[in-house]
Amino acid sequence: MTYITSEQKLREVFGFAKGRAQAKCLTQLEQHSINFIHLSAFMTISTFDSHGRVDCSPRGGEQGFVKVINDNCFIIPEAKGNNRLDSLVNILRSGRIGCLFLIAGVDETLRINGSARISVDETHLTLFSELKNPPKACIEVQVEEVFLHCAKALMRARLWHKDSQIIRSDFPTMGQILKAQLALEEPVESQQQMLARYQNDL
């Protein structure tokens, strides 16, 4: 087995970014990145802890569920979940975050990296007071790098194409998967039961 173990070798294989790919990284939000966040209903956040263990977690809501405060700051609501709190614990330990924003039907994505803090400030929580389940805390992100990522990955995946979707019944339910993974003895929760239970937490 042969592996690349140095940046020098990596660059020998791939070369360097040129032109727009090299110059597109900004240090703050501007009108187009702000608009992208306003139109996004789904994002992922990447975090790591003090030992370098990494985690990537999805976040979603109505379009514009992430609130832009200014050119250097935006707020992500911490929606009701299972209380593992992996991302929040990592932020406490490292203070770093990576964000990937998606807009349904758009193949380009928006990448933002920066520092993060967990906020329970009333001015931040009030931004989400109209939600059915308002957050108990938010993630405050201070922007350090922001740039559009090209469309190739989503084009290859045909993510927004109807014919790329599987028939849901062809895939095991979460209940079936967890029963197998954890050797659970209780009855398997159906997909319909799970969705009905989730509706209360949205």
Residue 51 and residue 103 in one domain: yes
Across the range 7-13, mean pLDDT stands at: 96
d(CA 27, CA 174): 40
Residue 124 and residue 38 in one domain: yes
pLDDT score of 199: 86
pLDDT band at 112 (very low <50, low <70, confident <90, very high): very high
Residues paired with residue 98 on neighbouring β-strands, in sequence order: 46, 113
CA atoms within 13 A on the CB side of 110: 25
CATH number, domain of 143, equals 2.30.110.10
Residue with tokens 């849901």: 168
Which pair of structure tokens corresponds to residue 95? 């203070």
Residue 115 and residue 63 in one domain: yes
Domain count, the chain: 2
Q: What percent of the chain has pLDDT over 90?
A: 82
Domain of 188, in residue numbers:
169-199
When comparing pLDDT for 103 and 81, which is higher?
Answer: 103
Pure H helices in 54-95: 86-94
Q: Is the pLDDT of residue 18 over 90?
A: no
pLDDT score of 70: 98
d(CA 31, CA 71): 9
d(CA 126, CA 112): 24
Q: Is the pLDDT of residue 54 over 90?
A: yes
Which pair of structure tokens corresponds to residue 55? 């985690």
pLDDT for 134-149, tens place per residue?
Answer: 999 999 999 999 999 9
Residue 124 and residue 53 in one domain: yes
On whether residue 162 sits in a domain, the answer given is no
Residue 65 and residue 143 in one domain: yes
Q: Is 12 helix (H, G, I), strand (E, B) or coil?
A: helix
Residue 108 and residue 138 in one domain: yes
Residue 113 and residue 134 in one domain: yes
Mean per-residue pLDDT of the chain: 95
Run of H or E including 198 = helix 191-199
**Cβ proximity of 146 and 110 under 8 Å:** yes
